[in-house]
Amino acid sequence: MSENNKMFLNETYYCDFNNPVFENLPINLSKSISSTAVEIFNFVRDSLPLCADAIKVKASETMRKKYGACWNKALLLAAISRKYSIPGRIVKRPLNKNFLKPLLGNDVFFINNPYYHYFVQMLIDGQWTYADPSLDSKSFDALYRPLNVAWGIKWDGKSDHIIHNENILGPIEVIDDIDQAFNSGLGNRSTPGYLINILNKKYWKKTGWDKVLIK
């Protein structure tokens, strides 16, 4: 592995994979790196619903909350992949904000356009491969599958996994410095803290996550 790629195994302030919350994860290690990567991906994708949350949130905090926006889930995937010695790096891409309309409805009016969507590249067998864990199965089945989108949310650990490709407005950019990027706001307008719980209850009711997360 090159020295440049080894940096994507490092722990950082936000990518804090040595936190005790990451002990005893339900990940089945495999002789195949790609199979282990898929285990990690599926865990992050489906254990946490896609919803609103703040930007300056550590991976360990997202793990405890059990929900997150695309950048929170991307950070969590990168953190867990690094924990299991698979280099992972966060990437961003500008999309037309309408890609979030199935989830947000008319609330999409209030977000910036383009909207920077965050996902991950994992280094598998010497090849950087895209994986997007943001859209969980409940949300996909409730909101996007009925639209007959041309993409799905399964990833095989070998080929690039790109979703929302009908709304692409620009190229993918790699985030080398996670902490600097998160401290700078990731290029998106933050959701005010007092609105996050209100919005999420509304989003979770659309997707069925309210039966799991709202007590």
The DSSP secondary structure of 116-144, one letter per residue, reads EEEEEEEEETTEEEEE---S-HHHIIIII
Residues 6+ away with beta carbon under 8 Å from 150: 165, 166
Show the domain range for 120. 3-187
Digit-by-digit pLDDT tens for the chain (215 residues) are 676 889 999 999 999 999 999 999 999 887 799 999 999 999 999 999 999 999 999 999 999 999 999 999 999 999 999 999 999 999 999 999 999 999 999 889 889 999 999 999 999 999 999 999 999 999 999 999 999 999 999 999 999 999 999 999 999 999 999 999 999 999 998 888 888 999 999 999 999 998 887 54
- Note whether residue 18 is domain-resident: yes
The DSSP secondary structure of 170-197, one letter per residue, reads S--EE-S-HHHHHHTTTTSPPPPHHHHH
Residue 89 has a pLDDT of: 98
- Note whether residue 76 is domain-resident: yes
Number of folded domains that form the chain: 1
Could you tell me the pTM of the whole model?
0.96
Residue 194 has a pLDDT of: 87
- Note whether residue 198 is domain-resident: no
Q: Is the dihedral of CA 214, 201, 70, 101 positive or negative?
A: positive
